[in-house]
């Protein structure tokens, strides 16, 4: 399988090069040139597979030129054996046709583990083969950082620099990053917001000279391999609840648009999906775009769902690429115009194409707490604030009450005790493997919101 850039200028690459390259050299994102498609018979067969078996089935076509079937089998088995629930991604029923898929049973208690536990293994496999080292730079709104550190910390081949916005992640999230101490792990708290961190990472890909010849890799969802791993659980949910005979809908708490984009890809690969609901918090540019074709950046605000405090959603570009008939030149122009503010909407016909699949809703902090409370009282089930936004958006946007609406529960409520307490619920206990988290030693460097300062720190700390 070949991968092409959304901006049409960078060379096409194979899987392993895409895995190690991150952002394309023209500033675009890599996507597969064409997608594998599963038949109804194959979907029927998926219903009886374990999570690891299904992951192998879905992922193999994307990687098979670089990773053998047997090697992939070992990687997915090891990855998902490390999850804390036998079903890996259990489905919980709240009501008739209202479901929650728990994606927080990995080591860091958020859905990012699904991709990053595998990504670490895939990268190691490629780097050992090539006898190469990789400097990884990642921006996190809270959950990617710890998941990336957990996924890469045992690798001798990667040096990991994680940028998080200073004082804008929850204490549990911060400690999950800063207490994982290792020679190849570097936590940087940037005195800015998530968009500042993400922008620094993208600029560093564009000019890597500060690495003195080193190569930069990505753990953010600009890396195709992350999307690829997340496609699996959409199939897992869909076939569990009746696909291919019955369609399903998903509501996805959305920040960088990576998770919901994986659902869109699952649909292109043959999963019968009726609706994809973009659930946002007060940082609602995607909701304004989806509902009113109005794409204008506002200032980022802090919310009780910090992992979604993102304005510029990288993966939205991958969807736009399809909406613009995969015309890289046209998309490069559109992205430049949207980013500079010269354009503030999509071409009407293309926007309407998106609306056939996607709907959206915005949920503010007060309503988020109300939903946590209501679901706790009525269904005896504790949602984290991100997942609560998903449930509410799924309810409001649901146009097909006869089919299952599945909300992706993206994090464990223990990561966000502030919202849980505000909702009048008892704060949950940290699981055993994290029970002493609040006492562990932290290691982190606070740096100015300045690309030069951050790059100088990185080049001084590469071993």
Ligand X SMILES: *Cc1c(COP(=O)(O)O)cnc(C)c1O
The site for ligand X (CB under 6 A) is made up of: 110, 112, 143, 221, 253-259, 307-308, 386, 410-411
The answer to whether 187 and 177 are in contact (CB under 8 A) is: yes
Which residues are within 8 A (CB) of 439 and not within 5 positions of it... i.e. 6 or more apart?
A: none
User: Which among 37, 57, 96, 112 is annotated as catalytic?
Assistant: 112
- Beta pairing partners, 411: 110
**422 carries an active-site annotation:** no
Q: Which is nearer to ligand X, 258 or 270 (CB)?
A: 258
Q: Which of 347, 273, 276, 343 is nearest to 315 (CA)?
A: 276
- In angstroms, what is the minimal distance from the CB of 281 to ligand X? 9
Report the distance separating Cα 235 and Cα 243, nearest Å.
9
The residue among 124 and 259 lying less far from ligand X, judged by its C-beta, is 259
Distance (Å, whole) CA 22 – CA 305: 27
Q: Compute the least distance from the CB of residue 319 to ligand X, in Å.
A: 12
Residue 89: alpha-carbon gap to chain centroid: 16
Return the number of the residue (46 or 136) whose C-beta is nearest ligand X.
136
**Rounded to the nearest whole angstrom, what is the least distance from the CB of residue 461 to ligand X in the complex?**
26
Nearest approach, Cβ of 104 to ligand X (angstroms)? 8
Q: How far apart are CB 289 and ligand X at their closest, in Å?
A: 14
Tell the smallest beta-carbon distance from residue 315 to ligand X (Å): 7
Which are the catalytic amino acids? Answer: 112
């Amino acid at each position: 399988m070949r991968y092409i850039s959304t901006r049409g200028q960078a060379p096409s690459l194979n899987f392993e090069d895409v895995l190690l390259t991150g952002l394309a050299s023209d500033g675009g994102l890599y996507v597969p040139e064409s997608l594998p498609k599963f038949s109804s018979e194959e979907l029927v067969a998926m219903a009886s597979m374990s999570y690891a078996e299904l992951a192998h089935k879905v992922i193999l076509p994307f990687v098979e030129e670089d990773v053998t079937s047997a090697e992939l089998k070992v990687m997915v088995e090891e990855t998902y054996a490390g999850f804390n629930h036998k079903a890996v991604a259990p489905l919980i029923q709240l009501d008739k046709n209202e479901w929650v898929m728990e994606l927080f049973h990995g080591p860091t208690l958020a859905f990012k583990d699904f991709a990053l536990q595998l990504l670490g293994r895939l990268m190691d496999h490629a780097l050992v083969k090539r006898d190469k080292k990789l400097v990884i730079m990642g921006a996190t709104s809270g959950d990617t950082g710890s998941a990336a550190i957990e996924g890469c910390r045992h690798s001798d081949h990667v040096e990991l620099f994680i940028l998080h916005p200073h004082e804008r992640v929850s204490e549990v999230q911060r400690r999950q990053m800063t207490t994982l101490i290792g020679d190849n792990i570097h936590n940087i708290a940037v005195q800015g917001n998530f968009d500042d961190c993400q922008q620094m990472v993208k600029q560093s890909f564009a000019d890597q000279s500060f690495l003195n010849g080193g190569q930069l890799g990505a753990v953010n969802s600009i890396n195709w391999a992350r999307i690829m791993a997340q496609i699996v659980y959409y199939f897992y949910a869909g076939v569990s609840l009746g696909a291919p005979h019955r369609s399903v809908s998903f509501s996805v708490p959305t920040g960088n648009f990576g998770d919901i984009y994986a659902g869109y890809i699952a649909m292109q690969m043959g999963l019968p999906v009726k609706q994809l609901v973009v659930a946002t918090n007060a940082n609602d540019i995607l909701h304004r775009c989806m509902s009113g074709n109005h794409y204008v950046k506002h200032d980022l605000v802090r919310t009780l769902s910090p992992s979604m405090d993102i304005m510029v959603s990288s993966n939205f570009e991958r969807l736009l690429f399809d909406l613009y008939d995969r015309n890289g030149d046209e998309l490069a122009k559109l992205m430049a115009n949207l980013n500079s503010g010269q354009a503030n909407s999509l071409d009407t016909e293309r926007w309407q194409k998106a609306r056939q699949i996607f709907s959206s809703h915005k949920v503010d902090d007060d309503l988020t707490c109300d939903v946590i409370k209501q679901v706790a009282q009525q269904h005896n089930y504790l949602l984290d604030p991100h997942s609560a936004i998903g449930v509410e958006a799924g309810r409001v946007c649901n146009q097909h009450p006869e089919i299952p609406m599945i909300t992706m529960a993206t994090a464990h409520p223990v990561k966000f005790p502030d919202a849980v307490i505000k909702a009048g619920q008892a704060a949950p206990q940290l699981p055993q493997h994290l029970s002493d988290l609040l006492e562990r030693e932290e290691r982190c460097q606070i740096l100015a919101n300045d690309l030069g300062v951050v790059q100088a720190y990185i080049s001084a700390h590469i071993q």
